[in-house]
Structure 1
């Protein structure tokens, strides 16, 4: 099968899933979003589970394509974390919404959870590595707390409720990441970024 067409359909399915939710993810909706003749998506992904698998695998691929240079100090780590959170409200919004929808589906489909687990497991390892590269006294426990806090922030950023964003400090992402790092690691030492 044509890989370019396959990727185009998977990208369109991400958009449909992000815009219409799990119930709106149909072969017909993906055909329309991709601008292809009716039945094209069904030819590539014959069942809804095949379509869900294709979307999940595409989300994993796209996740690994985002280049993130390692931080060199605490301040560059804060900038990296802020940029990742800003991406949720910007260009990464559809992918994050799609992953959120897929996670809901995974509660009933363990095979789907196994695909998505690759992204989550990578996050824990990547954020631990980033904290270490920034020169922080990272431990697996500290790395897990930071990663879990970032993951918890995603749903609130996606929903965008101003009262919730203000209550959680997510209305000021720069302040949020600095306070998160301070909560986990304490204030920076004098002269340290």
Structure 2
């Protein structure tokens, strides 16, 4: 059984790579098999439909973007204030930039969600759940900012990521400086 889980994860990782490199139109079972180095038909055995494959990619993106427990443990020892909030935001940005295939695949899925209701359903459910979890975490940690401000941070981080992963508008402003200014402006 462990081997099946490992292969499923490897196929999902290959799907993320295909999605990031080829776009949603290039995401096929055959392309996933080729990227994973598995025999033809393996991806369709694990994910019989394209919608099953998309749901698996969304789940794997969530796993790959989950913060490291040791990082969370270190941050939760600190006093809740805007500086701590900025460090949490900085960690999100760091995780996205350190794994650009995941960030790009996520943008590809968001675009594909505008064309395919099944993608919108899978991605939308995950995003709403993740957003609610962010709001609950923020409240339980005693961090500044409520639901609306957390939404504004999601919008801001999405824009920052799209900018940094594609064609930066301002290359002299560091990511840390951008995060500091966003936190100062939104939490004001």
Long gaps (5+) in structure 2: none
From 101, 108, 114, the equivalent of 1:101 is 108
Secondary structure, in 3 states, of the residue corresponding to 1:18?
helix
The structure with the larger Rg is 1
**How many pairs does the alignment contain?**
179
1:135 Cα deviation from its structure 2 partner = 4.1
What are structure 1's unaligned runs of at least 5 residues?
187-193
Deviations 1:7-43 (A, max 9, x none): 2211111111111111221222211211111221222
Structure 1 match to 2:49: 47
SS at match of 1:165: coil
Q: Confirm or deny that 1:115 pairs with 2:118.
A: no
1:10 partnered with 2:12:
yes
Q: How high is the TM-score relative to the length of structure 1?
A: 0.77
> Judging changes above 3 Å, is the alpha-carbon distance between structure 1 residues 173 and 179 closer, same or farther for their aligned structure 2 residues?
same
* 2:149–2:186 CA contact under 8 A, matched in 1: yes
3-state SS of paired residue (2:23) = helix
Q: CA deviation at 1:66?
A: 4.9
Partner of residue 154 from structure 1, selected from 161, 165, 177: 161
Which stretch has the larger CA shift, 10-19 or 71-80?
71-80
* Of 15-24 and 47-56, the range deviating more from structure 2: 47-56
Q: What TM-score results when the alignment is normalised by the length of structure 2?
A: 0.79
